[in-house]
Amino acid sequence: MAAPSLKLEPIDEDPTPKEGEPLSAETRKTLHQNIVSKLRPLPFQYHWAVWYDKHAENMATPSTYRNQLYLLHEDVSDIATFYRVYNNYPWHKIRMRDSVHIFRKGVRPIWEDPENAQGGCWMFRVPKGKAQAFFHEMAVLCLANEFQAVVEKEHDHVLGISMTVRFNSHLISIWHKLGSNDRSIKALECTAIDRLSPELRLPAAGPESSSYSYSYRRHDENPGYKEAMELAGEWSIDY
């Protein structure tokens, strides 16, 4: 199966504002990222990989199962590398129901991976217009070990973050290893909500509140989990 037609292309736009022109929030963020990327990059505690997950209606065949995931970048080891990948990624070309994952190197973003098998994830449904900024902030918290720090004492591990494209909203998920640990689950929820920028926080009421929702689910609570684990064993997939 051919890989999805997504290519990393250089960004030609110059974010530097003209003289006297006020800085927009997006321009300030871009300039900040450009400055950070030119500094001596500090390594992340863990190395990360970027995956593309092509949605398939029927996962009943080994070939479909094995070819749904595409490794786009195998080693994101510092903040400069992250922004080189992130800033040049064609986010607007992600197809409906496809996903992008940023996961610890060596862990596949699927339930069947041994690191994920007993885990779960927080899932945030975010309006399309705010989803990219939301995903960016969650990714930085993940890679910079902000999430890991709050579950460390529980001997838990934050394994990655995903964004799945929907029509009016996107699903953004934070995956961790111990789906039975209530303290870890609560700590991740509080950190995700408290560390968001004010404009991205989930509104308690108002016209936007119906577009936001979030919930937690263990992987083994998903329909198809048992069948997926059985198929993975039958096909002897090499992780």
- Tens digits of residue pLDDT in 123-142: 999 999 999 999 999 999 99
Residue 27's CB is within 10 A of a number of other CB atoms, namely 14
In a domain, 15, yes or no: no
In a domain, 95, yes or no: yes
In which domain, by residue range, is 131 found?
Answer: 43-201+209-235
pLDDT at residue 224, as a whole number: 86
In a domain, 163, yes or no: yes
How many folded domains does the chain comprise?
Answer: 1
In a domain, 1, yes or no: no
Q: Give, in degrees to the nearest 5, the angle at Cα 231 between 225 and 236.
A: 130
In a domain, 124, yes or no: yes
Contact present, 91 and 6 (Cβ < 8 Å): no
Distances (CA, A) of 155 to 111, 148, 176: 20, 10, 11
Domain containing 185 — which CATH number?
3.30.760.10
Buried b / exposed e along 48-62 (16+ C-beta atoms within 10 A): bbbbbbbeeeeeeee
pLDDT at residue 74, as a whole number: 95
In a domain, 28, yes or no: no
In a domain, 194, yes or no: yes
Q: Which residues contact 142 (CB under 8 A, 6 or more apart)?
A: 102, 158, 160, 161, 174
pLDDT at residue 9, as a whole number: 41
Q: What is the pLDDT of residues 154-193, one digit of tens each?
A: 999 999 999 999 988 999 999 999 999 999 999 999 999 9
pTM, two decimals, is 0.78
In a domain, 5, yes or no: no
Q: What is the pLDDT of residues 82-136, one digit of tens each?
A: 999 999 999 989 999 999 999 999 999 999 899 999 999 999 999 999 999 999 9
CA distance linking residue 161 with residue 51, whole number of Å? 11
